Structure 1
């Protein structure tokens, strides 16, 4: 199964008030394993970058002014996403911005049924615990030492590791499917040497007359045995 883990960076918190998506990073998983395929793009939001948002991700208006607008890169993004489930942390936020950008260029929105929210998974698995990306990285030992500021591709790569840990981590691939088991059996059975078993007649274990006499004398020498009470 193909899945896409993704993250976005924006000019603010609400696309309904004019905030825009300025960066997206995507990581491809296949059968819960990273394939090494990624998608990353910056977009010119055609508006200013508030200082509070720039503090979070470090993307300035001057830097983004030289990037393409979303309309010019929408097709490439959609082709990478395909019809795969889309995994994000607090996914409603990222879906909201992605679908807003698609709406602005006359594209169909991404079906919300494709959304996989790792915050919801983490809250169910660790009720009452912190479920920020940083907190989950700490819980699962995911190295985030190189994360100085938020970045869409870097955060998507970290989230992909966290997502796999939330689903069971190294335990995911331990069970062989039926075909793998059959293949393993076919590979090993021909190499097994036939073991020849030698028949041995049972040996007698009955006590001899001498042994019985010695046992009787021993028993009679026991003072006040319990079995006589």
Structure 2
């Protein structure tokens, strides 16, 4: 795990039972879903990681309205302690791409704090890149939520609820656009441009070359200019 990071990037998102801080009160909320999408050589692969997790606690109603994941659905899902090794093997030696990274990183570190393992901070084993911070540099003073970036980059999200794997897929597309300098991909415009961009070999060129001769006045003025710059 101490090997140099490769060009492999993992776009990651989590869903939770709720927010973990309320003023000075720590509410002991847990992760209930992890979704991760692999990018290799700037291409999204089909090598995903997706896992629902039993948090052993109730989900806040406010959180349920966001992701739609119920307590009954998670009842027979594995605990984080049962899946963390698979998760570590998937992300090791990779750069992790997260939107608002501190939220997900804090939750992951909180989960690891309950395990009998040396890993206590995910940033020690993976490089973490926060696309929210990137977006704030690219678009200062604007809204930079994932939904706002979808509209800005014209990425269709098609979602009624948030989901870790769904949001990771969306963020992977956004990240590639953010790091390519493009604001959107309009395939229809590209197609029209390709139709118009026909090579000259497709035309019969029967016209003779046309040369425009300079007048005597132009030649004299040009000679004066050459003499001037020589001085």
Note if 1:161 corresponds to 2:167: no
Mapped pair 1:131 → 2:118: no
Q: How does 1:116-155 map to 2 (within 5 A)?
A: 116-145=129-158, 147-155=159-167
- Give the superposition deviation at 1:162: 0.5
C-alpha distance in structure 1 between counterparts of 2:42 and 2:11, whole Å: 11
Counterpart in the other structure of 1:99 = 109
Match of 2:44, SS state, is strand
Give secondary structure in 2 for the equivalent of 1:157: helix
Q: Point out 4+ residue stretches in structure 1 off by more than 6 angstroms.
A: none
Corresponding residue for residue 37 of structure 1: 47
**1:34 Cα shift?**
0.9
Query: What residue in structure 1 maps to residue 73 of structure 2?
Result: 63
Secondary structure at the counterpart of residue 111 of structure 1: helix
Aligned to 2:19: 13
Partners of 2:71 and 2:116 in 1: how far apart? Answer: 25
For residue 96 of structure 1, give the secondary structure of its aligned residue in structure 2: helix
Partner Cα separation in structure 2 for residue 116 and residue 106 of structure 1:
27
The alignment status of 1:4 with 2:10, answered yes or no, reads: yes
TM-score by length of structure 1 reads 0.71
CA shift, 1:45, in A, is: 0.2
SS in 1 for 2:170: helix
Provide the rounded CA distance (Å) in 1 between the counterparts of 2:80 and 2:93.
20
Q: Distance in 2 between matches of 1:50 and 1:14?
A: 11
- 2:122 aligned residue: 110
Name the SS for the 1:37 alignment partner: coil
Higher helix share: 1
State the distance in 2 between where 1:98 and 1:106 align. Answer: 14
CA distance in 1, matches of 2:107, 2:141: 28
Superposed CA RMSD in Å reads: 1.6
Please, which runs of 5 or more residues in structure 2 have no aligned partner? Answer: 1-6, 184-231
Structure 1: segments with no counterpart, 5+ residues = 172-229
> Does the alignment pair 1:49 with 2:59?
yes
For 1:36, what is the secondary structure of its paired residue?
A: coil
Measure, in 2, the Cα distance between the counterparts of 1:140 and 1:116. 19
Sort the Cα spacing of 1:14 and 1:132 in 2 relative to 1 into closer, same or farther, 3 A: same
Give the CA deviation at 1:161. Answer: 0.5
Looking at structure 1, the residues matched to 180 and 114 of structure 2 have their Cα atoms a distance apart, in angstroms, of: 39
